[in-house]
């Protein structure tokens, strides 16, 4: 048991504070008193290379390693942007599309360069996210979520992370707002990660209740 008011601690295999906060917000709706710990909250361990060809495979690798290292039930996600005109790329390579330094700015600039000559009508894309849940008792679950939309020609907005500044979700096609320009709660509602988390959160809650009984 963690701090006062915390009924469950989970581990999320990530150092991204925005991603951890997003997970915390969504899971708290289904798991009251939950506290999501990130990589900076636990002792260092050897993180696995994300060398699986699918989002689900990479998410499971990270969740299994997290549970083994921390002894906590662990969530991990692997997500990325799949662009129609690039045959689904960058896909699982999204975070390191422009190199191993994992620079959002460099990734976004490379994507803009690659799509420079692609007309607006062919700039369809979707974000995809796989979320894996692994418990010390051996439970393993994976769900996936998608957010369709399109890639625009310039970065806009200051919220979100990654390619959010270049992506207009389908729900905002009329207004043209990017994922980085909408409120966090609204992004949670429509995002690939939000959809996957809302699907897995009741399963997480049930597993935690079973483990406590």
pTM equals 0.86
Tell me if 16 is assigned to a ligand binding site: yes
CA 208 to chain CA centroid, Å, is 22
Contacts of 174 (CB under 8 A, 6+ apart): none
Tell me if 79 is assigned to a ligand binding site: yes
Task: Kindly report, residue by residue over 116-169, the tens digit of the pLDDT.
Answer: 999 999 999 999 999 999 999 999 999 999 999 999 999 999 988 899 999 999
Tell me if 19 is assigned to a ligand binding site: yes
Tell me if 102 is assigned to a ligand binding site: no
Q: Report whether pLDDT(172) > 70.
A: yes
Pairing of strands 34-37, 74-83: unpaired
The residues assigned a catalytic role are 78
Within 10 angstroms of residue 111's Cβ, the number of other Cβ atoms is 23
Q: Report whether pLDDT(99) > 90.
A: no
The fold adopted by the segment(s) 8-212 is Maf protein (3.90.950)
């Amino acid at each position: 048991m963690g701090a006062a008011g915390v009924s469950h601690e989970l581990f999320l295999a990530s150092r991204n504070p925005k991603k951890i906060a997003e997970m915390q917000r969504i899971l708290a709706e289904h798991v009251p008193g939950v506290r999501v710990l990130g990589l900076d909250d636990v002792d260092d361990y050897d993180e696995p290379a994300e060398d699986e060809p699918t989002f689900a495979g990479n998410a499971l690798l990270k969740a299994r390693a997290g549970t083994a290292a921390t002894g906590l039930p662990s969530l991990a996600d692997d997500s990325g942007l799949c662009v129609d005109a690039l045959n689904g790329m960058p896909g699982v390579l999204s975070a390191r599309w422009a190199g191993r330094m994992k620079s959002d700015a460099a990734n976004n600039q490379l994507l803009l360069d690659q799509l420079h000559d692609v007309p607006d009508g062919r700039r369809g894309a979707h974000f995809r996210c796989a979320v894996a849940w692994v418990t010390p008792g051996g439970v393993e679950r994976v769900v996936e979520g998608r957010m369709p939309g399109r890639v625009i020609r310039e970065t806009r907005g200051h919220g979100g992370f990654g390619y959010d500044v270049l992506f207009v979700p389908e729900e905002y096609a009329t207004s043209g707002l990017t994922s980085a320009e909408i409120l966090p709660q609204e992004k949670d509602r429509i995002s690939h990660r939000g959809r996957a988390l809302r699907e897995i959160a009741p399963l997480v809650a049930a597993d935690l209740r079973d483990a406590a009984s």
